Chain A
Amino acid sequence: MVAAYARHFGTATADAMTAQEEVALAEYDRLLVDPEFVAGTRRPARAVRTIKIRAGVWVLEYHPDADDERHVVVTVAGGVIRRASGDLPDGVVGLDLARAATMFEQTGSFAPLAAALSSAQAEVAVMTQDRTTSDLDVAGYAIRLDRGYHTPTHQWLLAVGDRVRIGLDALTADTYGVLAQLLLPAPGDRLQAGSAYGSLGRPGSWGPWWPRATAWWWRSTARSSTTRSW
């Protein structure tokens, strides 16, 4: 690279500019006072300006150009149009994004806005899907919102067909660090409210699995019993 620099600009000296450097500097002296160069590359005007406030919340501004009377501002949150200003069809506020996009598409004159709303709707759909089928991170501990949680025992319940599947949340699982042994009831066992149903142990610590963790999940049993131990 040094050789290439020397070929292009000549051999540099400490106390003087080379002829090539003088030419290059003169060119930049000219360019840097040229308003068009300083303004940079011109981008095509966008009919819809989208400002993202945070995930799922946008402000969309539709203003085709300065001479156009159509100037609309729409606020989107939670997959619904929350506010709107400008000359818009009645009933826009409160519409979900899919229906709003369809409405604007049908009006024709708001087609660019319809496209922007469709993009927002697609992003909301991904967010919704992620929140129900993927782990959400809470300060390093995952939670999944496709199931219910029994908060006193940090266990989750998920309907699987005609069964209820049960497990531990990530926060509790993580607190055990290393599990060496796990005891569970056998198929056919009937669980009693007020009784622990399993045990887990980690190296150097073995004992009943949470005295508080009981057969709490059956409403008919739990509600009729006073033996909850937590």
Chain B
Amino acid sequence: MVVAVNGAVLDDPELVIREPYDGGWLVELTRDGAGQVADTVAGEAALAWYRAAVAEHREKGPVAE
């Protein structure tokens, strides 16, 4: 369930671009009753995935459209 929405990005959408990892967060969800977060990578695995994604982006263009 959504428990919080970042009002700052609704007022200023470009905050998502300027501060994607800090002030540009989108929503907060509860964890209760939902188990663990699924299917994510972290640490060195995340870094390796990101490097590949950036390389693909540079070669082919946007990756999330």
Tell whether, in the assembled complex, residue B38 and residue A151 are in contact, meaning their CB atoms are under 8 Å apart. no
CB < 8 Å: which of B30, B47, B53, B65 contacts A171? B53
Tell whether, in the assembled complex, residue A221 and residue B50 are in contact, meaning their CB atoms are under 8 Å apart. no
Tell whether, in the assembled complex, residue A173 and residue B50 are in contact, meaning their CB atoms are under 8 Å apart. no
Tell whether, in the assembled complex, residue A179 and residue B42 are in contact, meaning their CB atoms are under 8 Å apart. no
A178: chain B residues within 8 A (beta carbon): 14, 17
Interface string of A160-175 (1 = CB under 8 A from B): 1011111111111111
Q: Does residue A45 face the partner (Cβ distance < 8 Å to B)?
A: no
Known: A138-B51, A184-B5. A218 touches B63 (CB 8 A): no
Tell whether, in the assembled complex, residue A176 and residue B26 are in contact, meaning their CB atoms are under 8 Å apart. no
Which of A27-35, A63-71, A96-104, A186-194 binds B?
A186-194
Q: Once bound together, how far apart are the Cα atoms of A187 and B27, in whole Å?
A: 9
Q: Once bound together, how far apart are the Cα atoms of A172 and B62, in whole Å?
A: 8
Q: Write the nearest CB–CB distance from B15 to chain A, whole angstroms.
A: 9
Q: Write the nearest CB–CB distance from B24 to chain A, whole angstroms.
A: 6
Known: A167-B20, A182-B9. A217 touches B58 (CB 8 A): no
B4: chain A residues within 8 A (beta carbon): 163, 187
Tell whether, in the assembled complex, residue A162 and residue B64 are in contact, meaning their CB atoms are under 8 Å apart. no
Known: A171-B63, A175-B57, A217-B29. A181 touches B13 (CB 8 A): yes
Tell whether, in the assembled complex, residue B28 and residue A165 are in contact, meaning their CB atoms are under 8 Å apart. yes
CB < 8 Å: which of A163, A165, A173, A220 contacts B17? A173
Q: Write the nearest CB–CB distance from A117 to chain B, whole angstroms.
A: 25
Tell whether, in the assembled complex, residue B2 and residue A154 are in contact, meaning their CB atoms are under 8 Å apart. no
Known: A145-B47, A166-B28. A220 touches B34 (CB 8 A): yes
Tell whether, in the assembled complex, residue B28 and residue A160 are in contact, meaning their CB atoms are under 8 Å apart. yes
Known: A149-B49, A157-B37, A171-B53. A166 touches B29 (CB 8 A): yes
A168: chain B residues within 8 A (beta carbon): 16, 20, 24, 26
Tell whether, in the assembled complex, residue A151 and residue B49 are in contact, meaning their CB atoms are under 8 Å apart. yes
Known: A139-B58, A187-B4, A216-B38. A167 touches B29 (CB 8 A): no
Q: Write the nearest CB–CB distance from B4 to chain A, whole angstroms.
A: 6
Q: A149-B50, A166-B26, A171-B54 are in contact. List 11 more A-B contacts (CB 8 A).
A: A142-B20, A151-B41, A163-B30, A173-B16, A179-B16, A179-B17, A189-B2, A198-B26, A218-B34, A219-B35, A221-B34
Q: Which residues of A contact B (CB under 8 A)?
A: 135-136, 138-145, 147-154, 156-160, 162-182, 184-191, 197-198, 200, 210, 216-223
**Would you give 14 A-B contacts (Cβ < 8 Å), ordered by A?**
A139-B54, A149-B46, A165-B25, A167-B24, A169-B50, A172-B63, A173-B17, A179-B13, A179-B17, A182-B16, A187-B2, A218-B35, A218-B38, A219-B37
* Nearest 4 CB-CB pairings of A with B: A148-B40, A179-B13, A219-B38, A167-B25
